[in-house]
């Protein structure tokens, strides 16, 4: 009988594991949470709490249904709940925040078999669900105080081809938008921790943001607005490079970023929505199984492969 | 480009000094007759017979097996089937010591006229002296040479890498017997008609490469080279080594050979793949055994091995007679200073767990390690988080994540499509996996089932 647990080597192991990685990712979100609370005060605390309660209850309920043990210490529900909350506007009704958090874990994570078993990011799927279900409320962004414009800079651009925020305002976070995505500074601080701890590489966010800004620029959208406005930066740092929706092979990951960036830009240009990042990444993540096969390493040189 | 990791070598303790100590002969040895991969030998002694050190106690059963020799002088006390660390079980011959350590006089003296031996005579001698490739694969040397000789060989590669932490037996052997190793290499070079010989040494063995270079210089053997590679895992393993040193990719050949002959084991496929490209590869311990067999008339009844690990009181390199029980060897190293988490035969990356210390030394035993719990304790397994680290690090350039996900569902055809046959069992995928999945075991599981002809279950 082949014993999969104890039969053989190696007996050494790298000093990192999924749980510690998840907690490091949560730590990387701290600057973003801090600035979200700074900008939106009690509204941010309320929404963060309610989404997290929804996510935890979703986990407890789904684990109860599947007779599995709930383990909050794994940090998965906390990580995903925080990501979803930070992608929501500070004015979104609390009931919708709760629904988003609850359904994200129940439908988009646990029904697929648990963490890392789903075909796309549960956060993206839940956000898309909220966008489709509540299209008005989800784009009703409350602005931080002392903001230059009450309108989301992308929407402003779509309406009249201008935006009023300076580069510094966009970088620090003085712009209308969802709670966690407005401050590029906070995203950079969090992203730096992920890079230092080797939880992600610089390559994927760099390719995504580069291609996205470039394609946007080609159809006349300002380069700096692509980089520092909207939720592109947040998604590129915290969602794009990590999770089961990412292809395994390095070249496939590059192609995945290119596809996501081009789709985001095209959706932004030609659709009703003025920010296409969520849609672009969501569609690209659905292509991951195909990308994994496409970039299966060509090791057979001349030998026909059964599935090719 | 092969992506590598730096493992802490921990080699100093057993290398201080660079000598290989001779153990006190034990009161009893238990010598397994199964010393090659799929073949056993037939006993040619009976209970009650008196044997001397180096006396043949088992004849080769067929062309694939080798003779087995007594490592102790004394009386045959038993011939019975016992557990075997590599192959499940094997007939073992127990010898009880007469405390005289009687040897044949000719053992250790130079064989007259050895340089005039024909190829057939040398191969016959290899089989009669019980020579195998002294790695865990236990490939009969004469059989390996026969495979190699089917093609034209231009380069003989002698492997002194010792890619794994702790293991230093080859290092000590090379420092104490450099000329013998060069002579052994020359015997093999002539046997396979290779033009040149390349010693591949990891750069943590700086003194070995310098010593060999100086000996080669004085011998004026211009077709001998010493190539140094970085001490990074898995560069010291055959497939990555061939890629980094000779820029030869063996993976396509390994897959092709696996599909032609699914029953062939990895060492056989590696030998054939190398021979197709004009290379032959031997470990340094084998080369030394060739010298001892052909020149010094000494059959393979003992080998250099490393006793090491944080739990061993006195780490050292020793000459271990075959059949010497692990518990007696550990006693010779003054025992364990604390209870080991794992006892391993071989290195911590590719070695085998030793479940109890009643197993005997084999021709494949290059080390015995006692590692502490904090180093070997396995963490709880998580679901794959698709980080792609296993794919990034795989030296065979396959996708361990896809293969293991298929193997878990027993979809072996799918595993085959993802290139499981190219796996060289380096263990790097398990090492880097943050989800602690038993990836190396799942890969072996898929390969084992494919060899048995199973596609999907």
Strand ranges in B266-313 using DSSP code E only, listed in sequence order: 279-283, 302-308
The whole-angstrom separation of Cα B361 and Cα B35 is 11
Closest A-chain CA to B6: A14
Of A9, A114, A302, the CB nearest to B440: A9
CA quadruple B229, B289, B239, B196: dihedral, nearest 10: 70
In this structure, are residues B89 and B30 in contact, taking their beta carbons and an 8 Å threshold? Answer: no
Does the beta carbon of B273 lie under 8 angstroms from any beta carbon of chain A?
A: no
pLDDT tops 60 at residue A299:
no
Q: Does A241 touch chain B (CB under 8 A)?
A: no
Q: Is the Cβ–Cβ distance between B435 and B427 less than 8 Å? A: no
Beta carbons of B391 and A4 less than 8 Å apart: no
The answer for residues whose C-beta is within 8 angstroms of residue A236's C-beta and 6 or more apart is A204, A205, A208, A209, A212
Which pTM value belongs to this model?
A: 0.87
Q: Residue B162 in 3-state DSSP?
A: coil
What single DSSP character describes residue B55? -
Judge whether B445 and B423 are in contact, CB under 8 Å.
no
Q: Rounded CA gap, B307 and B169, in Å?
A: 9
B103-109: average pLDDT: 85
Contact A243 B385 (CB under 8 A): yes
Question: By CA distance, what is B448's nearest residue in A?
Answer: A2
What pLDDT, on a 0 to 100 scale, did the predictor assign at position A295?
A: 81
Judged by a CB distance cut-off of 8 A, whether residue B16 touches chain A is no
Rounded distance, CA B166 to CA B148, Å?
A: 31
> Residue A70 — left, alpha, or beta (φ > 0 → left; ψ -120 to 50 → alpha)?
beta
Q: B56 has which bridge partners? A: B69
Summarize pLDDT for B28-69 with one digit per residue, the tens: 999 999 888 777 889 999 999 999 999 999 998 888 889 999
Q: Are β-strands B74-84 and B88-97 bridged in parallel, bridged antiparallel, or unpaired?
A: antiparallel
Q: What is the ipTM of this complex?
A: 0.84
Kindly report the average pLDDT of chain B as a whole number: 90
Residue A223 CB partners (closer than 8 Å, separation 6+): A213, A214, A216, A217
Question: Is residue A303's pLDDT more than 60?
Answer: no
Average pLDDT over residues A204-220: 93
Q: State the pLDDT confidence band at B304, using cuts at 50, 70 and 90.
A: very high
Angle between helix axes A250-270 and A277-286 (nearest 10 degrees) is 140
Residues in chain B closer than 8 A to A19 (CB atoms): 382
| Cβ-Cβ contacts under 8 Å for A108 (sequence gap 6 or more) | A118, A120, A122, A125, A126, A129
Would you say residue A272 has pLDDT above 60?
Answer: yes
Q: How confident is the model at residue A146 (pLDDT cuts 50, 70, 90)?
A: low
Which structure tokens are listed for B447?
A: 């390969």
Are the CB atoms for A294 and B246 separated by under 8 Å? no
Give residue A1's pLDDT: 37
pLDDT at position A209 is: 95
Whether residue A247 lies within 8 A of chain B, CB to CB, comes out as: yes
Over 80: is that where the pLDDT of B114 sits? yes
Report, as an integer, the average pLDDT of B342-371. 90
Residues with Cβ within 8 Å of residue B33, at least 6 apart in sequence: B40, B41, B42, B43, B58, B68, B90, B91, B92, B93
* Closest residue in A to B165 (Cα–Cα): A12
- Nearest to B425, CA basis, from A91, A124, A7, A287: A7
Mean pLDDT of A146-168: 76
Residue B323 phi/psi, 5-degree rounding, is 85, -5
Query: What digits encode the pLDDT tens for the residues A163-200?
Result: 877 888 888 888 888 888 888 999 999 999 999 998 88
d(CA B391, CA B395): 9
Q: Which of A138-152, A194-208, B326-340 has the lowest mean pLDDT?
A: A138-152
Span B87-94, mean pLDDT? 89
Mean pLDDT, all residues of chain A: 85
Distance CA A10, CA B346 (A): 11
Give the lowest-confidence range in A111-115, B99-103, B433-437.
Answer: A111-115
- Tokens found for residue A191: 């992203």
Cβ–Cβ of B427/A243 closer than 8 Å? no
Residues of A with CB below 8 A from B430's CB?
9-10, 13
Tell me how many helices (H) and strands (E) chain A has.
14, 0
- When comparing pLDDT for A174 and B209, which is higher? B209
Range B377-383 average pLDDT: 82
Q: Which of A2, A21, A115 sits opposite B434 (nearest CB)?
A: A21
Q: Could you read off the pLDDT of B262-279 as tens digits, one per residue?
A: 888 888 889 999 999 999
Residue-wise pLDDT for B311-322, tens only, equals 999 999 999 999
By the CB < 8 Å criterion, does B401 face chain A?
yes
**Partners of B197 in beta bridges:** B156, B224
The answer to whether B422 and B397 have CB atoms below 8 angstroms apart is: yes
Q: For residues B99 and B101, what is the distance between their CA atoms, to the nearest angstrom?
A: 6
The per-residue pLDDT for A2 is 40
pLDDT tier, B138 (very low <50, low <70, confident <90, very high otherwise): confident
Question: Does A208 have pLDDT greater than 50?
Answer: yes
Q: Would you tell me how many other CB atoms lie within 10 Å of the CB of residue A15?
A: 7
CB B439 within 8 A of CB B391: no
Going by pLDDT thresholds of 50, 70 and 90, the confidence category of residue A237 is very high
The DSSP letter of residue B204 is G
pLDDT tens digits, residue range B153-207?
999 999 999 989 999 999 999 999 999 999 999 999 999 999 999 999 999 999 9
- Tokens 């930066």 locate to A233
Neighbours of B313 (CB within 10 A): 13
Per-residue pLDDT band at A3 (split at 50, 70, 90): very low
How far is A84 from A239, CA to CA, in rounded Å?
Answer: 10
Would you tell me which residues 282-301 of chain A have a C-beta closer than 8 angstroms to some C-beta of chain B? 292, 296-297, 299-301
Instruction: Please give the distance of CA B375 from its chain centroid, rounded to a whole number.
Output: 24
Determine contact: A306 vs chain B, CB below 8 A: yes
Nearest C-alpha in A relative to B439? A4
Two tokens at B224? Answer: 């001998």
CB B291 within 8 A of CB B183: yes
Beta bridge partners of A126: none
Residue B123 has pLDDT above 80, yes or no: yes
Nearest CA in chain B to A308: B417
Q: Indicate the residue of A8, A242, A296 with minimum beta-carbon distance to B418.
A: A296
The share of chain B scoring above pLDDT 90, in percent, equals 58
Beta bridge partners of B93: B31, B79
Q: What is the structure's pLDDT at B332?
A: 81
The number of beta carbons lying within 10 Å of the beta carbon of residue B182 is: 20
Question: Mean pLDDT across the stretch B12-19?
Answer: 83
Over 60: is that where the pLDDT of A238 sits?
Answer: yes
- Tell me the three-class secondary structure of B63-81, residue by residue: CCCCCEECCCCEEEEEEEE
- Helix (H/G/I), strand (E/B), else coil: B5: strand
Say whether pLDDT at B15 is over 60. Answer: yes
* Contact flag A9-B427 (C-beta cutoff 8 Å): yes
> Pairing between strand B68-69 and B279-283?
unpaired
Half-sphere exposure of B44 (CA within 13 A, CB side): 15
- B positions 328-367 inside 8 Å of A (CB): 342, 344, 346-353
- Residue B398 to residue B419: CA distance in whole angstroms: 6
Longest dimension (CA), chain A: 71
What pLDDT was estimated at residue A63? 86
Closest-CA residue of B relative to A1 is B445
Categorize the per-residue pLDDT at B124 as very low, low, confident or very high, splitting at 50, 70 and 90: very high
How many helices (H) and strands (E) would you count in chain B?
A: 16, 17
């Amino acid at each position: 009988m082949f014993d999969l647990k104890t039969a053989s080597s190696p007996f050494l192991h790298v000093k990192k594991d999924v749980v510690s990685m998840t907690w490091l990712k949560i730590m990387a979100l701290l600057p973003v949470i801090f600035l979200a609370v700074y900008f939106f005060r009690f509204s941010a605390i309320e929404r963060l709490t309610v989404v997290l309660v929804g996510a935890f209850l979703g986990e407890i309920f789904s684990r109860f249904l599947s007779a599995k043990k709930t383990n909050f210490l794994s940090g998965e529900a906390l990580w995903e709940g925080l990501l979803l909350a930070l992608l929501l506007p500070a004015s979104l009704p609390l009931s919708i925040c709760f629904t988003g958090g609850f359904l994200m874990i129940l439908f988009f994570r646990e029904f697929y078999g648990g963490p890392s078993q789903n075909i796309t990011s549960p956060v993206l799927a839940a956000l898309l669900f909220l966008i489709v279900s509540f299209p008005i409320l989800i784009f009703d962004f409350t602005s931080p105080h002392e903001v230059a414009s009450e309108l989301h800079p992308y929407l402003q651009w779509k309406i009249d081809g201008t935006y009023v925020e300076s580069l510094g305002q966009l970088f620090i976070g003085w712009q209308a938008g969802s709670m966690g995505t407005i401050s590029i500074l906070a995203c950079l601080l969090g992203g730096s921790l992920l890079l230092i701890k080797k939880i992600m590489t610089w390559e994927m966010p760099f390719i995504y943001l580069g291609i996205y800004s470039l394609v946007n620029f080609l159809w006349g959208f300002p380069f700096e607005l692509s980089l520092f406005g909207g939720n592109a930066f947040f998604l590129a740092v915290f969602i794009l490079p990590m999770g089961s929706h990412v292809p395994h092979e390095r070249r496939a990951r590059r192609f995945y970023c290119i596809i996501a960036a081009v789709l985001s830009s095209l959706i932004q240009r030609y659709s009703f929505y003025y920010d296409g990042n969520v849609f672009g990444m969501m569609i690209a993540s659905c292509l991951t199984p195909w990308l994994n096969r496409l970039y299966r390493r060509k090791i057979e040189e001349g030998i026909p492969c059964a599935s090719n | 480009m092969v992506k590598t990791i730096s493992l802490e070598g921990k080699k100093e303790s057993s290398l201080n000094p660079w000598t290989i100590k001779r153990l006190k002969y034990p009161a009893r040895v238990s010598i397994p007759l199964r010393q090659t991969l799929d073949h056993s030998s037939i006993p040619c002694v009976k209970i009650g017979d008196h044997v001397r050190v180096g006396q043949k106690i088992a004849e080769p059963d067929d062309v694939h097996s080798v003779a087995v020799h007594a490592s102790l002088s004394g009386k045959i006390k038993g011939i019975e089937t016992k557990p075997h660390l590599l192959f499940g079980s094997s007939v073992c011959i127990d010898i009880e010591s007469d405390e005289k350590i009687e040897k044949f006089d000719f053992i250790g003296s130079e064989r007259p006229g050895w340089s005039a031996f024909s190829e057939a005579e040398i191969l016959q001698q290899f089989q009669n002296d019980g020579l195998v490739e002294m790695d865990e694969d236990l490939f009969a040397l004469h059989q390996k040479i026969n495979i190699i000789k089917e093609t034209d060989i231009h380069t003989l590669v002698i492997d002194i890498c010792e890619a794994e932490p702790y293991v230093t037996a080859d290092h000590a052997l090379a420092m104490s017997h450099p000329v013998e190793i060069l002579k052994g290499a020359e015997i093999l070079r002539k046997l396979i008609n290779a033009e040149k010989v390349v010693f591949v040494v990891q750069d943590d063995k700086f003194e070995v490469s310098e010593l060999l270079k100086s000996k080669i210089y004085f011998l004026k053997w211009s077709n001998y080279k010493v190539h140094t590679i970085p001490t990074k895992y898995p560069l010291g393993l055959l497939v990555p080594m061939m890629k980094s040193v000779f820029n030869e990719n063996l993976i396509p050949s390994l897959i092709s050979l696996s599909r032609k002959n699914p029953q062939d084991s990895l060492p056989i496929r590696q030998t054939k793949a190398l021979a197709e490209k004009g290379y032959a590869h031997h470990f340094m311990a084998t080369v030394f055994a060739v010298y001892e067999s052909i020149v010094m008339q000494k059959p393979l009844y003992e080998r250099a091995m490393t006793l090491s690990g944080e739990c061993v009181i006195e780490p050292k390199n020793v000459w271990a007679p075959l059949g010497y029980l692990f518990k007696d060897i550990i006693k010779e190293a003054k025992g364990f200073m604390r209870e080991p988490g794992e006892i391993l035969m071989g290195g911590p990356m590719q070695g085998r767990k030793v479940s109890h210390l009643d197993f005997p030394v084999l021709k494949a035993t290059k080390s015995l390690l006692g590692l502490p719990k904090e180093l070997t304790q396995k963490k709880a397994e998580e679901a794959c988080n698709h980080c792609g680290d296993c794919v990034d690090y795989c030296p065979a350039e396959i996708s361990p994540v896809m293969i293991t996900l298929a193997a878990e569902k027993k979809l072996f055809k799918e595993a085959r499509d993802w290139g499981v046959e190219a796996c060289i069992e380096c263990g790097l995928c398990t090492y880097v996996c943050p989800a602690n999945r038993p990836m190396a075991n799942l890969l072996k599981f898929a390969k084992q089932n494919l060899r048995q002809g199973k596609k999907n279950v």
